[in-house]
Amino acid sequence: MKKVILLGLITFIFISGIKSQDSDNQDLRIGLMLQKTEALYWENGIAVNYANSSVFDKQLHFKAAILSSSLGSALGTNAINQHSISLGADWHFLHNKKLQIPVGFNLGYFIADYENTIFDVLPSSSALFSLEAGLSYSFDFPVTLSLSAGYNFRNGDGAEIPGTIFPVFYRIGIFYNL
């Protein structure tokens, strides 16, 4: 988990440095991401979204997210603590409108902490690959709301991939536009 947080912090600092160079041609959003895995856990965390007018006129957005069930379903319960970090890119259709349609992919890494040595025989980590599509709305004030659904292509089988990686997930993002 410490590695995941460190990687997220490095990503955030890097993107913040890019943003300070030329803020008029860039779009940087930082916010909260809530993810619900179909028939399983809530995972919550932070997310960053970045676009630049020199890269396809801000139609291509790069994104990063750090999510954890420790901030969701496992908070105060005996649910499995699981953490993930993902990097990805979205193509935003209708990119000059308030309501946009982002479609993209995510690559990431997943870790489950079973908290008991008897479960050490189970897989506890895996690479992630998913496709995601949804809606994004930018308000007149510096806030963007996004809703999306995604599909994990690496599903948990419990033998080689952690069994808590389910195929379908839903996301809600609330971003502050810097």
43 confidence band (pLDDT: 50, 70, 90) = very high
Calpha distance 103→58 (Å, rounded): 14
Residue 166 tokens, joined = 């389910």
Is the alpha carbon torsion for 11, 14, 16, 18 positive or negative? Answer: negative
Q: What is the chain's mean pLDDT, rounded?
A: 86
- pTM of the model as a whole: 0.83
Mean pLDDT of 17-27: 64
The predicted-structure confidence for 134-173, as pLDDT tens digits, reads as follows 999 999 999 999 999 999 998 877 778 888 889 999 999 9
* Contact of 173 with 145, CB cutoff 8 Å: yes
DSSP-assigned beta bridge partners for residue 29: 49, 177
52: DSSP letter? E
The whole-angstrom distance between residue 25's C-alpha and the CA centroid of its chain comes to: 24
The whole-angstrom distance between residue 145's C-alpha and the CA centroid of its chain comes to: 14
Mean pLDDT of 45-74: 91
- For the ranges 20-24, 86-90, 93-97, the lowest mean pLDDT is seen at 20-24
Quick check: 35 pLDDT over 60? yes
Mean pLDDT of 94-113: 94
